[in-house]
Structure 1
Amino acid sequence: MKHLQLTLVITAFFMSFLACKQPEASEAGPMAATEFPELAKNMTIYEVNIRQYTPEGTFKAFSKHLPRLKELGTEILWIMPVQPIGEKNRKGSLGSYYSIKDYRAINPEFGTMDDFKEMVNKAHELGMYVILDWVPNHTAWDHPWITERSDYYAKDSIGNIIYEADWTDIALLDHTNPKTRIAMIDEMKYWIETTDIDGFRCDHAGHEIPLYFWEEATDALDPLKDLFWLAEWDEPRMHLEFHTTYNWSVLHATEAVAKGEESAASLFELMEKDLARYGHSPYRMLMTTNHDENAWAGTVFERYGDGHKAFAVFIFTSYGMPMIYSGQEVGLDKRLAFFEKDSIDWNDKMDLTPFYQKLVKLRKDNQALWSGEYGAIPERIDAGNEYVMAYSRKKGNNEVVVVLNLSSKEQQVQLQVSGTGKDYMSGEDVDLANVRQLKPYQYIVIAK
């Protein structure tokens, strides 16, 4: 009986100790009151192109921009691939980030592994999260697996390793082979344990990659750390394992609207179909540009013209999770070369930084605009002008009303709401009942 009493006393002591002990922040990571995906419900993703970010094109040079990005308000930094680039069958003089020669090494052009770790640590100290662009679909032709583990690769009928489309600089992997999956997950584990990254942006996440690979990957890696998972894929099934997927459909639809090929009303119809197909909970990443669009389709000015700001307002307020590409916040007005050195000009000639700061803050501060189930589904509030998109999002006591003219001409509008408020973007007082005409690409945002 005495032994039992002693055991109960000791047990009560340790339970009391554990209850009183406060959780400690990791040495390199920010304190998280919640976990992903909830943690990211009001965050903005920022894509980092290390090669083109500075004239030096290094981690150290980019790290000097971290305080500026903190001030911009972005909290998730997506770092494009940082590993050495294959030399065999290389495209251009520097090659593609996505032709990886060694998963566990650093591209010497960017710096060292210690430089990368220091960059991650600085981001964490500023309260930002770092996700690494991961390429599980293929490797470079001079990756050691080509000669040492050719069974990891997809092959044609006569046993030759194959590549994807016209991307002759990469060799396609075979993830139906369990050994390939085990090896790939082990490489991903290395980066979590060695550099303390916070997740992955997964390239071609559904292309020639079975979903059971991602089931195995998340099962193995999530216990190591609370991770954020972003899939470069536009398919509902990916949300079984990923927090966020690409919304290519909305991106291309906004481009079509800007060209006059589709109506603004078609965007609302597309959103409704997307929500019906994916549900309200999944995070859908929205953008007007990224490294692919900029390099191959053109700048936001080429694709959206004078409407680039109106469409950015749509991306930040409609639904989903917004993303900003390197240089977008200062009006990147050239197609960055993909296989060569081509530095970003950080001279903000159009003074766009305050504009994007406002959008990031607007979304962060207004619960109605948060991602997935944490925000509100948009409700249309205009009488149906095909060039105008007007909607309201309500969550709890928070409501945000957005009115957009997505055309280059003045438009008449009749709103089905009333009330007064201050336009968040211009600072002007607005009486919604008296909004009858919109200037070309005019936008009104009222947060209540």
Structure 2
Amino acid sequence: MWWRDGVIYQIYPRSFQDANGDGVGDLAGITSRLPYLADIGVAAIWISPIYPSPMADFGYDVADHAAVDPLFGTLADFDALVTAAHDLGLKVILDFVPNHTSERHPWFLEALNSPQSSTRDWYIFRDPAPDGGPPNNWLSEFGGSAWARDPVSGQYYYHAFLPEQPDLNWRNPAVVGAMHDVMRFWFKRGVDGLRIDALLHVMKDAAFPDNPPDPDFREGMNPYRRLLPLYSCDTAEVHGVIAGMRRVAEEFPDRLLIGEAYLPFDRLAAYYGREGGGVHLPFNFALIQAPWTARALDDLIARYEASLPEGAWPNWVLSNHDRPRIAGRVGPDQARVAAMLLLTLRGTPTLYYGDEIGMAQVEVPPERVMDPWEKRVPGLGLGRDGARTPMQWDGGPFAGFSTVEPWLPLADDFTEVNVQVEKAGPFSMLTLTRSLLALRRSRAALARGSYRSLGAQGGLLAYLRETEGERLLVALNLGGDPLALALPDGGPKGEVLLSTFCDREGEAVNGALALRANEGVVVALG
């Protein structure tokens, strides 16, 4: 299975490469940069939504699930991208948005015609509460009530996100059939996998009871957390929906399903499904949310490994389009250590575009904010624009991303932090990332080996990756002071394969390993 061995690279298409000079990235731009991605050594690209959309939520409000928005190009451009990627040995994963559509989707426009329209039951319409208000107290992820009133019928429709994103009714067999056909449409075009958006939300409790208050909620938190979403997401029935999607994927050889699910480990494990009937990889976002300490990370990894069902394959994510970049969370020095962590843990890593060069989280001025979440719930740091800024290819005008002002501002440091500069730098973040990716490809212990913690002490996190005949030690200094680690099992000899400073390859290690501040190393043990 290709996805067990390789690294997935996430592309936010608006921000990767603009080929037509309109300030927004597109499919032709992605295609032009595929040689770079093949060269650094990733196995697959995951492309966030490219569907026709009014862009209320930048593509996650889908108006047609089986087409390409002209902003990004055409279906022919997409087919050319898939062909070029496959020619370079790259797999292509596409975002699949089954929970909701755009309010401008033909299905929803028809549903609004009348309560008797042919697609009315494709969505979730409910009568008002006795007081005329929303049917229950469910909240939108993006702020406020999750119910919007249809002024014509007086009923309310449900939207887990924006009012412009009405939720589909997956209890209706016609919806199930239509969305399964969407999956088949893209698989037939050569797509190697689908990343399923908002998977937790697809099934709701049919009785629509009120959600209970969250006793841990405090003012200043995301207002969505006022309630525990017991009945509006992560219901038991979602697993039947996933099993149906898995059956569709298995109509095609070697296809991958990834599920977006922000959940504790004990609940996340269920998304692998019984007897392989779930998604192949329920996304594990724990590193995004974890305290950056050796003890916390050691405990997190152990709990995740212990939670996995038999035969399940782990996965790890450091950054994505919805959360602040890793360099913004831990700083540029620790971002190098974090890269080594991500790319040496057991399982499939997902690398977010720009993290391979250490792109920063950008402070977007209020007048340039684009994210609807930030606009609806301002002042709480929920905005996602800062993690979606244009890829920094070179130090020229607009960082080589476009020939015009991009849709989001560039980072102030783009003249120093960019692909062109870092390609030539023997100690750069890009050099480190390429070396880590090469090490994963050449060392079976990193690609498929077991994981064994050596514990955490102070700022030191250490673990072994082992296969028969190969033992690799990974030691990470998560602090700003030098540390020393005694080698395991009485101190066998070893050799440094890679340091996050890119300057110790081949160094002999005998009995103990010295780590500089903010340094990680991989050592082959004799």
**Residue 6 of structure 2 corresponds to residue 43 of structure 1:** yes
Q: Deviations 1:369-400 (Å, cap 9, x if unpaired)?
A: 22xxx431x22235x51321011111111211
Match of 1:174 among 166, 169, 173: 169
User: 2:123 & 2:247 partners in 1: Cα distance?
Assistant: 23
1:288 Cα deviation after fit: 1.9
1:325 Cα deviation after fit: 1.2
1:444 Cα deviation after fit: 1.3
Q: Deviations 1:248-277 (Å, cap 9, x if unpaired)?
A: 123311xx11xxxxx312212221111111
Unaligned runs of 5+ in 1: 1-37, 258-262
1:155 Cα deviation after fit: 2.9
Match of 2:196 among 188, 199, 202: 202
1:338 Cα deviation after fit: 5.9
User: 1:250 & 1:301 partners in 2: Cα distance?
Assistant: 13
Superposition map of 1:111-122 within 5 A:
111-122=73-84
What is the TM-score when the length of structure 1 is the normalising length?
Answer: 0.81
1:412 Cα deviation after fit: 4.5
Q: Deviations 1:59-107 (Å, cap 9, x if unpaired)?
A: 11221111111011111110111101136xx2xxxx4221111111111
Residues 1:404 and 1:221: Cα distance change in structure 2 (over 3 Å): closer
1:441 Cα deviation after fit: 1.2
1:186 Cα deviation after fit: 1.1
- Contact map agreement 1:201 1:231 (CA 8 A) in 2: yes
The letter for the 1-side match of 2:520 is Y
Cross-structure match for 1:380: 453
Match of 2:445 among 348, 368, 372: 368
Q: Deviations 1:154-202 (Å, cap 9, x if unpaired)?
A: 234433211115x333111121222211111111211222x21111011
The letter for the 2-side match of 1:332 is M
Q: Which has the higher contact order (CA 8 A, sep 6+)?
A: 1
**Residue 261 of structure 2 corresponds to residue 229 of structure 1:** no
- Contact map agreement 2:287 2:318 (CA 8 A) in 1: no
The letter for the 2-side match of 1:359 is L
**Residue 120 of structure 2 corresponds to residue 150 of structure 1:** yes
The letter for the 1-side match of 2:334 is G
- Contact map agreement 1:289 1:324 (CA 8 A) in 2: yes
- Contact map agreement 1:85 1:99 (CA 8 A) in 2: yes
Secondary structure of 1:303 counterpart: helix
Cross-structure match for 2:299: 269
Superposition map of 1:15-414 within 5 A:
38-56=1-19, 57-86=25-54, 90=56, 95-148=57-110, 149-158=119-128, 159-165=155-161, 167-193=162-188, 195-209=189-203, 210-233=238-261, 234=263, 235-240=268-273, 241-253=278-290, 256-257=291-292, 263-279=293-309, 281-293=311-323, 297=324, 299-305=325-331, 306-335=333-362, 339=371, 342-347=389-394, 348=418, 349=421, 351-370=428-447, 374-376=448-450, 378-381=451-454, 384-414=456-486
Q: Is the helix fraction higher in 1 or 2? A: 1
What is the TM-score when the length of structure 2 is the normalising length?
Answer: 0.69
Q: Deviations 1:127-157 (Å, cap 9, x if unpaired)?
A: 1111111011111111111133121112344
Report the aligned-residue RMSD: 2.1
Cross-structure match for 1:433: 511
User: 2:9 & 2:517 partners in 1: Cα distance?
Assistant: 29
Residues 1:42 and 1:220: Cα distance change in structure 2 (over 3 Å): closer
The letter for the 2-side match of 1:73 is G
1:342 Cα deviation after fit: 4.8
Residues 1:344 and 1:369: Cα distance change in structure 2 (over 3 Å): same
User: 2:126 & 2:443 partners in 1: Cα distance?
Assistant: 53
User: 2:299 & 2:127 partners in 1: Cα distance?
Assistant: 44
Q: Deviations 1:42-70 (Å, cap 9, x if unpaired)?
A: 10000112211113322112211111110
Secondary structure of 1:124 counterpart: helix
Residues 1:423 and 1:192: Cα distance change in structure 2 (over 3 Å): closer
Unaligned runs of 5+ in 2: 20-24, 111-118, 129-154, 204-237, 372-384, 395-417, 423-427
